[in-house]
Amino acid sequence: MRMRMIAALTGLAGLLLSGTAHAYPIKDEMLTKNKLYSSGRLAAAACKEPPVKDGDAASLKKYWAGINTCLDTVWGAHLTKAGLPFSKPVLKFGKIPKKYCDFEIVKDDSMAYYCPQSKTIMAQLGKNWLEDTDDLWLLHLAGGMYGYHVMNLVGIEEAFQAAPYANKNELNEQIRRQSLQTDCLGGVFVKSVWSSLRRPGEDWKHLLGLLQTSGDVKGKPRTAGKGGNRVYWTKKGYVTGNPASCNTWSAPSSKVA
């Protein structure tokens, strides 16, 4: 099993043991032709955002828990209707321990990790997530982390773990495909509840601006994707409202760089 790290602030996913030599394109149909892609558009749903205050961790926990309830409702109805498996993830808050779920835990103020074995989203709420809490970043973040759970339910996570790779660069590209898929699924969720949020269009544009500047960090392994590609996949999910648009596994390398 690969060791991975997922830092939700940047969409980072990664790391690296050995693998079998393999050439692109990816051929595993659990990744490229997953039944999730033929499940149709997510139905429009109502989601009320709980109040959240800058610097107030307790209110942020309540906000994320409230959005997670919306995600349970939206994805539960969608996957069940499509005949796909569904169960709710566990949502926990607190300091993320070293080696949590066999991850390489990064040293960040704010982090979130999804553990596929226990189906648990673990979020560490630091100062940087408690600033400017009224924008769409937290909503999209919660939707993206839930995207890892959806991918786990439908077999994408297992297939990703089993996918062979020839070298470190190829592995990192696979990790970016997984990470960018969660951006897209986050956009799909935002689309499904957008009308009920009663937010101005400027909030959506502001989110895209934040994503544009939140891609891979210079000097570190490229596992999150460029800011432009984070925007591309998030917009694609939002415009269509359909998981079919989130098939990063069949996309050309330029779109997952």
Which one-letter amino acid corresponds to residue 135?
Answer: D
Using DSSP's 3-state secondary structure scheme, residue 236 falls into helix
How are beta strands 111-115 and 120-124 bridged, if at all?
A: antiparallel
Calpha distance 249→218 (Å, rounded): 24
| Whole-number pLDDT of residue 236 | 98
| Whole-number pLDDT of residue 130 | 95
Calculate ∠ Cα 162-163-166, nearest 5°. Answer: 130
| Whole-number pLDDT of residue 219 | 64
Backbone angles phi and psi of 124, in degrees to 5: -105, 115
| Whole-number pLDDT of residue 25 | 77
- The sheet with strand 90-93 has its strands ordered as 90-93, 120-124, 111-115
Adjacent-strand bridge partners of 13: 6
Per-residue pLDDT of the chain (257 residues; tens, 9 = 90+): 333 334 333 333 333 333 333 446 799 999 999 999 999 999 999 999 999 999 999 999 999 999 999 999 999 999 999 999 999 999 999 999 988 999 888 888 999 999 999 999 999 999 999 999 999 999 999 999 999 999 999 999 999 999 999 899 999 999 999 999 999 999 999 999 999 999 999 999 999 999 999 866 666 778 889 999 999 999 999 999 999 999 999 999 999 99
Q: For the CA atoms of the chain, what is the radius of gyration?
A: 17
| Whole-number pLDDT of residue 223 | 84
Q: What is the secondary structure of 65-95 as a DSSP string?
A: HHHHHHHHHHHHHHHHHTT----PPEEEESP
Calpha distance 11→144 (Å, rounded): 8
Q: Using an 8 Å Cβ cutoff, are 192 and 75 in contact? A: no
| Whole-number pLDDT of residue 8 | 39
